[in-house]
């Protein structure tokens, strides 16, 4: 249990950050008294400086979360060895740089890894030995070098059966999307490769991902045919579905009324998430599209359009320079 002085310091961090001060973490803030600490969370503050090295020696940590701050420095190369019990690693929206530790796969209990919106460089390490990994978000960094082997980390992820969110957009990744993407987790509903240097075509197997709702491929060097197993749903159809459901509301029974109320609450939540004052904290467009698809599905009573029973309904995000045809 943390000492009284530590608790007071944490309260001071909260006070000063809410009043727009930048708080610098003291180098020796984490004494041996915190050796049983399980969760370290200082997200969405004005923390600056670097993470004191001693925090990475607390082997009891299961959660490390410092998102949306002004922290810089690197993650230690032995992070996976010194924090073997880690389940949550959230450092997104900071100024971290350097390599993503290769030892991260040693923390086999990891389920949520978000390193996005930083300045990490080098190759993305193999994460195939993380069977509980549900969220992997490392977009908006400087990873990759436009080479053919930049996507080699994808192959071990074929064995993951629980992955739900996968984002590596806005990096410098080269290579060709492999066919094994179609063997990814059937729970995967969001996949992002946009704003990279990926070439080739869209693998046919992506249509096997029956839960996929958002596929971001914009600003790459892709071309060829859109696989027939993928259905591209135009945003206008989303609006038509919702309007059609609302116009028929006079025939709703009690269950349908409940569905409508659920959807209205969801839409309000989306509006609030889009209206956060700080741009970095606002919900991203991919999540908005996915949530609106969910609302549409509830109102229309269906998840699938067209003739393919198991086809994934996707919002395929592309730009004019991508030479796709269907």
Q: Are residues 33 and 134 in the same domain?
A: yes
**Residue 127: inside a domain:** yes
Asked which of 27-41, 68-82, 194-208 is least confident by mean pLDDT, the reply is: 27-41
Render pLDDT for 88-101 as a digit per residue (tens, 0 to 9). 999 999 999 999 99
Same domain, 123 and 271: no
CB 136 within 8 A of CB 92: no
Residue 95 confidence (pLDDT): 96
Q: Judge if 72 and 174 occupy the same domain.
A: yes
Q: Based on the domain organization, do 188 and 260 belong to the same domain?
A: no
Between 1 and 266, where is the model more confident? 266
Residue 321 lies in a domain: yes
Confidence of residue 227 (pLDDT cuts 50, 70, 90): confident
Kindly state the helix (H) or strand (E) to which residue 317 belongs, with its residue range.
strand 312-317
What pLDDT score does 290 carry? 73
pLDDT at residue number 254: 46
* 260 and 217 assigned to the same domain: no
Quote the CA–CA distance of 215 and 156 in Å, as a whole number: 20
Of 211 and 317, the one with more pLDDT: 211
184 — pLDDT class (breaks 50, 70, 90): very high
Burial status of residue 9 (CB atoms within 10 A of its CB: 0-12, 13-18, 19 or more): middle
Please give the DSSP secondary-structure letter assigned to residue 168: -
pLDDT digits 0-9 by tens, 62-94: 999 999 899 999 999 999 999 999 999 999 999
Specify the range with the lowest mean pLDDT, choosing from 120-129, 245-254, 301-310: 301-310
**Segments forming the whole domain that contains residue 76:** 4-232+316-325
Place of tokens 């249509």: 207
What DSSP state is assigned to residue 141? S
Tell whether 311 is covered by a domain: no
Least confident among 17-31, 64-78, 207-221, 293-307: 17-31
Both 194 and 298 in one domain: the answer is no
Residues 241, 222 within the same domain: no
Residue 117 shares a structural domain with residue 253: no
Answer whether residue 264 is part of any domain: yes
Report percent pLDDT > 90 for the chain.
48
Give pLDDT tens digits for 264-320.
667 767 776 666 656 666 677 667 777 777 777 666 654 333 333 333 334 444 444
Q: Average of pLDDT values for 250-264?
A: 55
Query: Is 309 inside a domain boundary?
Result: no
Query: Does residue 324 register a pLDDT over 90?
Result: no
209 contacts: CB under 8 Å, gap ≥ 6: 181, 182, 184, 185, 186, 188, 191, 312
Pairwise CA distance, residues 76 & 49, whole Å: 15
Q: Is residue 187 part of a domain?
A: yes
Residue 269 lies in a domain: yes
User: What pLDDT is recorded for position 288?
Assistant: 73
Identify the band that residue 142 occupies on the pLDDT scale cut at 50, 70 and 90.
very high
Residues 288, 258, single domain; the answer is yes
Output the pLDDT for position 256.
Answer: 53
Segment among 50-54, 120-124, 157-161, 310-314 with least mean pLDDT: 310-314
Query: For residue 129, is pLDDT > 70?
Result: yes
Mean pLDDT is lowest, of 41-55, 206-220, 275-289, for 275-289
Overall domain count for the chain: 2
On whether the CB atoms of residues 150 and 174 are closer than 8 A, the answer is yes
Same domain, 262 and 206: no
Q: What are the phi and psi torsion angles at 13 (to 5°)? A: -60, -45
Token duo for residue 9: 């310091």
Residues 78 and 36 in one domain: yes
Per DSSP, what are the bridge partners of residue 176? Answer: 199
pLDDT band at 48 (very low <50, low <70, confident <90, very high): confident
The CATH number given to whatever domain includes residue 48 is: 3.80.10.10
184 part of a folded domain: yes
- Around Cβ 178, how many Cβ atoms within 10 Å? 16
Other beta carbons less than 10 A from residue 118's beta carbon: 25
156 and 249 assigned to the same domain: no
């Amino acid at each position: 249990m943390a000492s009284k002085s530590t608790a007071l310091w944490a309260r001071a961090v909260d006070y000063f950050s809410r009043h727009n001060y930048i708080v610098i973490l003291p180098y020796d803030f984490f004494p041996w008294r915190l050796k049983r600490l399980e969760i370290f969370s200082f997200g969405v503050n004005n923390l600056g400086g670097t993470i004191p090295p001693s925090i990475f020696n607390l082997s009891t940590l299961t959660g490390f979360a410092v998102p949306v701050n002004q922290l810089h420095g690197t993650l230690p190369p032995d992070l996976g060895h010194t924090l073997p019990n880690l389940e949550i690693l959230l450092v997104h929206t900071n100024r971290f740089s350097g390599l993503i530790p290769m030892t991260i796969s040693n923390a086999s209990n990891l389920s949520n890894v978000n390193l996005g919106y930083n300045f990490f460089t080098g190759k993305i390490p193999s994460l195939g030995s993380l069977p509980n990994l549900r969220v992997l978000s490392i977009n908006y960094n400087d990873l990759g070098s436009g080479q053919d082997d930049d996507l080699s980390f994808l192959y071990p992820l074929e064995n993951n059966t629980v992955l739900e969110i996968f984002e590596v957009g806005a990096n410098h990744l080269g290579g060709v999307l492999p066919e094994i993407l179609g063997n990814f987790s059937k729970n995967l509903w969001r996949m992002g490769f946009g704003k990279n240097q990926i070439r080739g075509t869209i693998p046919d197997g992506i249509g096997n991902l029956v839960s996929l709702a958002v596929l971001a491929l914009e600003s790459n060097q892709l071309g060829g045919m859109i696989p027939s197993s993928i259905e591209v749903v135009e945003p206008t159809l989303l609006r038509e579905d919702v309007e059609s459901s609302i116009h028929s509301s006079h025939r709703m029974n009690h269950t349908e009324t409940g569905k409508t109320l659920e959807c209205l609450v969801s839409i309000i939540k989306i509006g609030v998430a889009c209206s956060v004052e700080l741009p970095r904290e606002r919900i991203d467009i991919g999540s908005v599209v996915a949530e609106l698809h969910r609302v549409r599905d509830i109102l229309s009573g269906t998840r699938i359009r067209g003739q393919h029973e198991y086809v994934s309904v996707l919002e395929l995000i592309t730009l004019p320079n991508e030479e796709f045809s269907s």
